Amino acid sequence: MSSPVTDSLILDRLKQLQITHPEIISHSPVKGSAEWSAELSTTAPNLSSVGLTKTLLFKPKTAKTATPTPVLVLAKESTETSSGAIGKLLELKELRLASEDLIKQVFPSAGSKDDVSALALPANPTIDENIHLILDQSLAQSQDQHALHLTASNTTILLKGQDIKSYFDSISKDNAVRLVDFAELKAATPAPSAPTAKPAAKAEVKPAAAQEDDEKYNMAIKYKKEEDFPGWYTDVLIKGQMLDYYDISGCYILRPWSYSIWQTIQTWFDDEIKKLGVQDCYFPMFVSNARLEKEKDHIEGFAPEVAWVTRAGKSELEEPIAIRPTSETVMYPYYAKWINSHRDLPLKLNQWNSVVRWEFKNPQPFLRTREFLWQEGHTAFLTKAEAAKEVMDILDLYRKVYTDLLAVPVIPGKKSENEKFAGGDYTTTVEGFIPTTGRGIQGATSHHLGQNFSKMFDISVESPNKDEGRLLAYQNSWGLSTRSLGVMVMVHGDDQGLVLPPRVALQQVVVVPVGLSKGEGKNQGIYDACLNLERELVKVGIRAKADLREGYTPGWKFNDWEMRGVPLRLELGPRDIAANTTLAVRRYDNHKSPMPLSDIGNTVRSYLDEIQKSMLDKAQEKFDSCLIPVTNWDDVVPTLDAKNILVLPWCEGSQCEDDIKERSKSQATKGQAEDNKAPSAGAKSLCIPFDQDRFGKFPEGENQKCIQCGEKAKSWTMFGRSDGWLVYEGTGTMSWAEGWYNR
Amino acid sequence: MSSPVTDSLILDRLKQLQITHPEIISHSPVKGSAEWSAELSTTAPNLSSVGLTKTLLFKPKTAKTATPTPVLVLAKESTETSSGAIGKLLELKELRLASEDLIKQVFPSAGSKDDVSALALPANPTIDENIHLILDQSLAQSQDQHALHLTASNTTILLKGQDIKSYFDSISKDNAVRLVDFAELKAATPAPSAPTAKPAAKAEVKPAAAQEDDEKYNMAIKYKKEEDFPGWYTDVLIKGQMLDYYDISGCYILRPWSYSIWQTIQTWFDDEIKKLGVQDCYFPMFVSNARLEKEKDHIEGFAPEVAWVTRAGKSELEEPIAIRPTSETVMYPYYAKWINSHRDLPLKLNQWNSVVRWEFKNPQPFLRTREFLWQEGHTAFLTKAEAAKEVMDILDLYRKVYTDLLAVPVIPGKKSENEKFAGGDYTTTVEGFIPTTGRGIQGATSHHLGQNFSKMFDISVESPNKDEGRLLAYQNSWGLSTRSLGVMVMVHGDDQGLVLPPRVALQQVVVVPVGLSKGEGKNQGIYDACLNLERELVKVGIRAKADLREGYTPGWKFNDWEMRGVPLRLELGPRDIAANTTLAVRRYDNHKSPMPLSDIGNTVRSYLDEIQKSMLDKAQEKFDSCLIPVTNWDDVVPTLDAKNILVLPWCEGSQCEDDIKERSKSQATKGQAEDNKAPSAGAKSLCIPFDQDRFGKFPEGENQKCIQCGEKAKSWTMFGRSDGWLVYEGTGTMSWAEGWYNR
């Protein structure tokens, strides 16, 4: 193959065509069009309306012995490019998006598929011998500037459509570049049916706004969950309207679709803790330097990520002021002030706020963001027993947030000595699991701080028994953050988009009219029936909405609401109305069943309950099937490689935990072919589950050996891979938000 | 009188006593002990436990012709110093706290009464001829260091009690300093009854913890609302446990007592706006410089008060990042992105968040704080009519927050052209009134922005009518902040402390056991009855609590709960139990009435409703009585001076508004003796009330003249004083939080 094409070479080629000084923008590397667009709007706001392009590399199916000729397509981002139609045009079979290997062959300089740019093609005579090049005709004929990458996704060049065509003509043989009118091509090819449109839908009206409709089909999720998990995750969040990118890296906009879920969690959890006697309050977001630095060990963990305000208006502040990364040093001095008598205990305060940690690592929506929303509870008790009870009460509420609201299974347990919050006595956690990556994820933590902080801040009272002198309070702290929303999306979402559990979905049911007729006014009866159905549902407290938008086909609407994860779709057409039924389609498994319209409110309500339960059961089953008790070391790495969580008989020793990590890491280089980003991840402890019996009989007597050191094992402990995408260094789990304690 | 005593002179005097290098701390000026203590804990955290002192100057009643000899008392802050007992001791009549004039005579260097320090007394032979000096014996005999001011409230010196005595001995004639044992003095004097204790209470047990009890009596509100409104306000908030001072100036801790009120407002308002189709979301707290500066006019108003993050960990940021002072420039770029089709309208978003404005003026709890909580609604519509309707819908919700939740009367109206949000088309407001200061206060504002921002940010859609081209959206914005809590406190609070309306009180009812007997176990029956009563109330949804704390007298408890503003106290003793009644005492007017215990839940529920209504009625009556229609210019200044709001026939002209301000200012120097801090305040427009009829028949024909220019008047318009304490420059009203728009 030829040597890599550089940015300079591309610019030289352009220069020879008299295209000089094209606009070039440097920015952060981007994945997909949403990020690209966001980056451009940040770095060059004036270009926010410039058209994006996409470069697609396909591999046709060939006999095993033959060398396939790849197909490169450069088109407007908005053009619908059907691989089926292209294959047909070129008389090639089953075009599939190219593997990383093939990408590397064609574009040696590309670090990943995100860097693929048609501009970086090697020169003549490669084209049309080694590769087919297809250019979107509407792009090639455009006088408008369009955005392309140079040789990597962190650089954007703006070129007129016509200049792009000239460029490819200049580096290929005559007529080697094929111009394709994709709209025409599509018209000439039998259209693939909309992902979930029923056959009946085809007979329906294609509205006047057909072109818009076609464009919107491109809004479907572009990545497969199993193939490109990070790309899928971002795409699902943005297209599902959970969030939007923001022009400050690491900050995201929580749109109503996600914020409403957080509000549901807030309302439920706040009610529950109030029953426990916890009161809400609000402490300032600012912390003075002196306070922050009071406890050196405490600050050490997060000092590198504290954001500092140093200026107000044009005045430099005398002392820089920190934005709280958490509120221990903010709150505890006042606990010392307020708590004087044993009558002042217990003191149980909670606040719902945002905290800031200026991470320099790659941000991830919900999981690692520079500002995030959470609740932090801080309580103080006269006795250790009361505090210990509360730790478990709160942990159980966290479990219920996950299982009962988000339909996400978690396992409550205790953190190992290595993994606990260093400032406390012990840490309890609810541990989740992302099947796609095979990794554990910390859901929320409830810490018993013992008297460590009360000693430090002098939170003490006269003993009620006069002769005991002063007693230090026993303290807890506990937190749950918006990362829980990210976990929910990762567990339930699928290739069609979000899948929301009914209990937290802002919209639980969408009613879609089907079987519409052409001609104005003809569908009023169906629309009325849909509105009536909506009313019936709303009346019994179901969050339902009829989608009567004109200009969209039912198929488009199905797709749209699937992408947004609405738990239940009710279709209503003339035949349904005649039969006094509606077709109910469950989002999470696409199961379809007719449902009588009489008493529809109650029917749907129990159906939603059933869906909620089934989603949890399904996820629970998957989690359970991936919790593998292993007593033989030889099974450790293969079990990890198969995306499982290990359940090991373990002595609970710190050194032994380090050894397990090292040993599994050194043996783990082979089996990782499918997960390049974590080539040598070792296993760390996730938690020691409180329910030990779920893993069956604990080995006894002679067999009761720690899998690593051979000493007597104390418990079944969950171990799993930790680093790699979506997982952070140093903690063993995705423990950023609450788990920063653990560092 | 002698010349002022300086700090150096005081230090010289000490030096002559061999007291060298005493610890001296500089800090911000303080009012009262709460602030002093807060300042010390900030500037010298190691001294947080040092005892404070208080210096009190009294004037005895004398014949008009005689010159009174003032009495100066220096005591521990915690010592109960009864002026009655002192008077008795010195055989003087009716000691009253000295006026500012007398203070200036004795302490010429004191800027205000906060600067009064006994150390600054002129030297021998003044003492005991011109002044009586009384020293708290427990202070004089103490080896501990105590805090005193030097010659002003911004300096603290630490001296041992015995050194303090030496100091005064050195500057006075022999035995001129009187040592007083206040505890003994009190015992020898008939004790004044607890503020609201019934006579019966005297017969009750004085518990073992009597000393603690006495100390706690000192916790009563120290300022009179009418005499020292700012001092009273701060004292009520802190002792009522609404908030606490924080070690960063201008930031306050919202304790559960106040935060729960905010949550009640949140819950109610959020429900209401959701009915209007508004959705909640969360935008990041950070704004990039580029975004903030996009709209020059917009930023100009608040640029001097923007807090800037310039550093994260040890890294300087490439670009400083602002903390949002409000979210227009944060949100509207995304509105432009999300709104493409007329189908995307209306877009109605709201967020509950905190914003930061780094004010350099004197901060005031709730009213002017550097971080505050609010909601900001931002909506966009296809038509002006829809937007205009929403402006009024929201304003009516704001009205209800004040009247229905906080029992605070407000008047809805429109702002004048001078006072409206400059960036919008028009501003509507609910205007409140603080009778104690006679000033208007802006409650919340709902703005119609017209197309000003949509033009700026290109928030536009294709018209549904094809030939109209693109249409700019019509926008509104509206905000309500925690300042509403401050208004509530100022309107309802009294000399005993907070007075909370039942609907928002975290605790609506306190049950207090009375008529207790000596001896352990004897009162179990009463306690049980109290708990039972609590249960009955809680059962029907009333937030009630029985106060069974041991070691406190009923009188102490009455005082405690009065200070905290609990709307209803139910007393329960043996006689009540025998009669199957409870004595109900209303906080807001101290009205007492027995209440049958049968069906007590329902009785109390309607009683609380009645209290809620009466509190509003009472405040409304006061407001109404201070709204004075004035048609003759000669009445303008006297009406203002009598702490009223003017209702003027006005032409609504901007120049005329300026003229009214100037004219009322220049005439206003005379009548302001009692309000030194606002010696020359002019009147500005507060709002043009929507309900014009409430002020009676509008002058007609010849008489329909603008009070200032004589041209034809358009409306009755409310005008009032604006500057001075608790009111901010430039806005005409206390319009900081929402009203910063108006600048």
CA distance B545 to chain A (A): 13
Q: DSSP E strands: which ranges in A62-163?
A: 71-76, 93-97, 132-136, 145-149, 155-160
Q: DSSP E strands: which ranges in A566-651?
A: 568-572, 581-586, 592-596, 627-629, 645-650
CA angle, A569 then A570 then A571, to 5°: 115
pLDDT score of A677 more than 60: no
A247 touches chain B (CB under 8 A): yes
Our measurement of the distance from residue B661's CA atom to the centroid of its chain's CA atoms, rounded to an integer in Å, reads 26
* Both structure tokens of B159: 């001296």
Give the model's pLDDT for residue A124: 59
pLDDT bin (cut points 50, 70, 90) of residue B199 is very low
Residues paired with residue B568 on neighbouring β-strands, in sequence order: B509, B586
Give the model's pLDDT for residue B26: 82
Query: Do β-strands A509-513 and A544-546 pair in parallel, antiparallel, or remain unpaired?
Result: parallel
In the block, residue with structure tokens 């009375």:
B514
**Residue B249 CB contacts under 8 Å (≥ 6 apart), including other chains:** B28, B363, B370
pLDDT bin (cut points 50, 70, 90) of residue B189 is low
Chain A positions touching B300 (Cβ under 8 A) are: none
Cβ pair A308:B303 closer than 8 A: no
**Position A1, amino acid:** M
Residues paired with residue A511 on neighbouring β-strands, in sequence order: A546, A570
- Do B577 and B511 form a contact (C-beta atoms < 8 A)? no
B274 touches chain A (CB under 8 A): no
Helical (H) or strand (E) element with B620: helix B600-625
* Both structure tokens of A720: 């799993």
Residue that wins the pLDDT comparison between B431 and B35? B431
Give the model's pLDDT for residue B215: 43
pLDDT score of B726 more than 60: no
Among A465-479, A728-742, B364-378, which stretch is predicted with the lowest mean pLDDT? A728-742
Chain A positions touching B321 (Cβ under 8 A) are: 248
Q: What is the pLDDT of residues B388-410, one digit of tens each?
A: 999 999 999 999 999 999 999 99
Chain A positions touching B278 (Cβ under 8 A) are: none
CATH architecture group of domain A252-286+324-492: 2-Layer Sandwich (3.30)
- Do A564 and A497 form a contact (C-beta atoms < 8 A)? yes
pLDDT score of B378 more than 90: yes
Q: Name the residue among B281, B286, B304 with its Cβ closest to that of A251.
A: B286
B307 touches chain A (CB under 8 A): yes
Mark which residues 517-576 of A lie under 8 Å from B by CB. 549
B310 touches chain A (CB under 8 A): yes
Nearest of B258, B267, B271 to residue B505 by alpha carbon: B258
A509-616 falls under which CATH superfamily?
Anticodon-binding domain (3.40.50.800)
* Both structure tokens of B623: 């407001």
Give the model's pLDDT for residue B376: 97
pLDDT score of A200 more than 60: no
Rounded CA-CA distance B201/B182 in Å is 24
Cβ pair B263:A280 closer than 8 A: yes
Chain B positions touching A312 (Cβ under 8 A) are: 305-308, 358, 360
Helix (H, G, I), strand (E, B) or coil at B117: coil
The 10 Å CB-count burial string (b at 16+, else e) for A41-70 is: bbebeebeebeebbbbbbbbeeeeeeebeb
Among B166-175, B225-234, B265-274, which stretch is predicted with the lowest mean pLDDT? B166-175
Mean pLDDT (whole number) for A368-380: 96
Give the model's pLDDT for residue A203: 31
Residues paired with residue A178 on neighbouring β-strands, in sequence order: A134
Rounded CA-CA distance A386/B244 in Å is 27
ipTM over 0.95: no
- Do A32 and A231 form a contact (C-beta atoms < 8 A)? yes
Cβ pair B304:A286 closer than 8 A: no
**Residue B740 CB contacts under 8 Å (≥ 6 apart), including other chains:** B301, B302, B325, B326, B357
Helix (H, G, I), strand (E, B) or coil at A293: helix
Mark which residues 362-381 of B lie under 8 Å from A by CB. 370-371, 373
Q: What is the pLDDT of residues A283-318, one digit of tens each?
A: 999 999 888 877 666 666 678 899 999 999 989 998
Among A73-82, A187-196, B284-293, B478-487, which stretch is predicted with the lowest mean pLDDT? A187-196
Helical (H) or strand (E) element with A386: helix A384-400
Q: What is the pLDDT of residues B413-467, one digit of tens each?
A: 999 999 998 788 999 999 999 999 999 999 999 999 999 999 999 999 988 777 7
Work out whether the CA dihedral A578, A579, A582, A583 comes out positive or negative: negative
pLDDT bin (cut points 50, 70, 90) of residue A576 is very high
Residue that wins the pLDDT comparison between B460 and A667? B460
A594 touches chain B (CB under 8 A): no
Residue that wins the pLDDT comparison between A10 and A81? A10
- Do B92 and B60 form a contact (C-beta atoms < 8 A)? yes
CA distance A80 to chain B (A): 20
Phi and psi for A463 in degrees, rounded to 5? Answer: -65, 145
- Do A336 and A457 form a contact (C-beta atoms < 8 A)? yes
Q: What is the pLDDT of residues B91-106, one digit of tens each?
A: 787 777 777 777 877 8
- Listed by start position, the domains of chain A span 7-188, 252-286+324-492, 509-616, 627-670+677-720
A251 touches chain B (CB under 8 A): yes
Give the model's pLDDT for residue B187: 67
A352 touches chain B (CB under 8 A): no
Q: Name the residue among A286, A334, A353 with its Cβ closest to that of B248.
A: A286
Cβ pair B309:A305 closer than 8 A: no
**Position B643, amino acid:** K
Residue that wins the pLDDT comparison between B4 and B487? B487
In the block, residue with structure tokens 């449109």:
A197
Q: What is the pLDDT of residues B53-71, one digit of tens each?
A: 988 888 887 766 677 788 8
Cβ pair A310:B305 closer than 8 A: no
Phi and psi for A278 in degrees, rounded to 5? Answer: -85, 140
pLDDT score of B334 more than 60: yes
Rounded CA-CA distance A328/A350 in Å is 12
- CA-CA-CA-CA dihedral for A306, A310, A311, A316, to nearest 10: 180
Chain A positions touching B259 (Cβ under 8 A) are: 279-282
Chain B positions touching A481 (Cβ under 8 A) are: none
* Both structure tokens of B406: 């906080």
Q: What is the pLDDT of residues B352-365, one digit of tens each?
A: 999 999 987 788 89
Q: What is the pLDDT of residues A115-134, one digit of tens each?
A: 888 888 877 545 656 788 88
Rounded CA-CA distance B531/A605 in Å is 40
Fold (topology level) of A7-188: YbaK protein (3.90.960)
pLDDT bin (cut points 50, 70, 90) of residue B652 is very high
A49 touches chain B (CB under 8 A): no
Q: Name the residue among B247, B259, B549 with its Cβ closest to that of A291.
A: B247
Nearest residue of chain B to residue A282 (CA atoms):
B254
Mark which residues 474-513 of B lie under 8 Å from A by CB. 506
B280 touches chain A (CB under 8 A): yes
Residue that wins the pLDDT comparison between A103 and A633? A633
pLDDT score of A668 more than 70: no
pLDDT score of A743 more than 90: no
Give the model's pLDDT for residue A617: 98
Chain A positions touching B371 (Cβ under 8 A) are: 284-286
**Residue A629 CB contacts under 8 Å (≥ 6 apart), including other chains:** A647, A648, A695, A696, A716
Rounded CA-CA distance A215/A552 in Å is 11
Mark which residues 92-131 of A lie under 8 Å from B by CB. none
Mean pLDDT (whole number) for B528-555: 95
Cβ pair A284:B371 closer than 8 A: yes
Helix (H, G, I), strand (E, B) or coil at B551: coil
**Position A236, amino acid:** V
- Do B441 and B623 form a contact (C-beta atoms < 8 A)? no
Residue that wins the pLDDT comparison between A474 and B4? A474
Residues paired with residue A721 on neighbouring β-strands, in sequence order: A683
Long-range residue pairs from B464-473, CB within 8 A, at least 24 positions apart, any chain? B464/B342, B464/B382, B471/B342, B471/B382, B473/B335, B473/B339, B473/B345, B473/B380, B473/B381, B473/B382
Chain A positions touching B42 (Cβ under 8 A) are: 288
Q: What is the DSSP string of B375-423?
A: EEEEEEESSHHHHHHHHHHHHHHHHHIIIIIS----EEEE--TTTS-TT
- Looking at domain B627-670+677-720, does it have CATH number 3.40.640.10? no
- Cβ-based contacts under 8 A for chains A and B: 154
pLDDT score of B734 more than 50: no
Give the model's pLDDT for residue A672: 44
* Both structure tokens of A40: 């451009």
Cβ pair B291:A247 closer than 8 A: yes
Phi and psi for A457 in degrees, rounded to 5? Answer: -105, 5
First to last CA, chain B: 47
A286 touches chain B (CB under 8 A): yes
Nearest residue of chain A to residue B552 (CA atoms):
A343
Mean pLDDT (whole number) for B211-218: 43
Q: Which ranges in B540-599 belong to alpha helices (H)?
A: 554-563, 574-579
Rounded CA-CA distance B612/B606 in Å is 10
Among A94-108, A257-271, A729-743, B317-331, which stretch is predicted with the lowest mean pLDDT? A729-743
* Both structure tokens of A404: 């009962």
Among A692-696, A734-738, B95-99, B403-407, which stretch is predicted with the lowest mean pLDDT? A734-738
Mean pLDDT of the residues in chain B:
85
